[in-house]
Amino acid sequence: MSAALALSIVAPCYNEEAGLAAFVARMSAAAQAAVGADYELILVDDGSRDRTWSVIRGLSADHPRIVGVRLSRNHGHQLAVTAGLSRVRGRRVMVIDADLQDPPELVGPMIARLDEGYDVVFGRRRQRAGESIFKRATASLFYRTLAALTETEIPLDTGDFRLMSRRIVDRLNAMPERDRFIRGMVAWLGGTQTEFLYDRDPRLAGETHYTLRRMVRLAIDGLTGFSTAPLRLAMILAGFGLLVAGALLVYVLWGFVTHSATPGWTSLALIVVFFSTAQLACLAIFGEYLGRTYMQSKGRPLYMIDEIVAGDASEARD
């Protein structure tokens, strides 16, 4: 490990030809100021349709610190980051967008914070300049809904802009799940994590690739990846159905006893009440098993050990 670089930077790039050179210039200067030449900048071309890859090739020919990784097609932001993270060689790893919305100059202060003994320093957005009210409102709603429905404490208003210790990145890379919601996975890993408040800038060039459709997908990935609450809906409905059925039962039987009901209605009502409640109950049971199978299928480790102390030093450390 001692041969590891001081810093790896991973930047996913999709159709970023216009702003990439500016990003690399600012990012390299900031990294150079923070750790000298002891860093690498991994640019992952996520199957861009513009000239992003040839820009990356050109930049890597000029800068020895740049590593270009080209994905075979567009795999999406989260997988592009995943691909970059799988190739890091540094002791500290930064994930940053290539569109200059996350200021590269924060790398120095974030390293200082990480070196105080944290595993993760995640950027938390104080402001999001240049983004529509709609985007800000939906993002805010999403983060809060997610927080309400999951047991993992996923920090609010936090994207993937962050600095991590290599230990966390190795653990993240070892998580085999396919639908990756990285900010949630990092939160799930635990360890010591702290926020770093910053103002998100407007995009330098080009436009956002997170269309409404992609945002909804990401939201669904986040929600289903960390919560089986939606599956529990049947359980809630069944409970509610049971209450209604109880009340209905009294009403139906009262009609039968007082002969005020149309003949045939009693049995019909009873059948409907009984079977619909039974069906919801069965769905709820399915949901419980399915939820467990689903979580198991993610193949996540059961727990993470941060530290072990033993008086006689016979216990190995992590």
DSSP strand pairing (120-128 vs 193-200): parallel
What does the alpha-carbon distance between residue 188 and residue 272 come to, in Å, rounded to a whole number? 44
Place of tokens 């002891």: 38
Which one of 9-17, 164-172, 239-247, 250-258 is the stretch in contact with ligand UDP (CB under 6 A)?
9-17
User: For Mg ion, how many residues bind (rule: CB under 5 A)?
Assistant: 3
- C-alpha distances out from residue 98 to 34, 42, 205, Å: 19, 11, 10
- Scan residues 79-118 and list those touching Mg ion (CB under 5 A): 97, 99, 101
Number of C-beta neighbours around residue 188 at 10 A? 21
Closest approach of Cβ 152 to Mg ion, in Å?
24
Give the residue, chosen from 46, 119, 157, 221, that forms a contact with ligand UDP under the rule CB under 6 A.
46
The smaller minimum CB distance to ligand UDP, of residues 52 and 277, is found at 52
Q: Binding ligand UDP by CB under 6 A: which of 210, 281, 288, 300?
A: 210
Is the sign of the CA dihedral 302, 307, 309, 315 positive or negative? positive
Tell me which DSSP letter residue 157 carries.
T
Smaller CB separation from Mg ion, 222 or 241: 222
**Cα(146)–Cα(155) distance, integer angstroms:** 10
> For residues 26 and 19, is the Cβ–Cβ distance under 8 A?
no
Window 87-106: contact mask with ligand UDP (x via CB under 6 A): ----------xxx-x-----
d(C-alpha 306, C-alpha 45), whole Å:
34
Selection from ligand UDP, Mg ion, none that 46 binds (CB < 5 to 8 A by kind) is ligand UDP
- Is residue 14 near ligand UDP by the rule CB under 6 A? yes
Identify the residue among 10, 13, 154, 186 touching ligand UDP (CB under 6 A): 13
Interface positions with Mg ion (CB under 5 A): 97, 99, 101
Residues in the site for ligand UDP, rule: CB under 6 A? 12-14, 16, 46, 74, 76-77, 80, 97-99, 101, 208-210
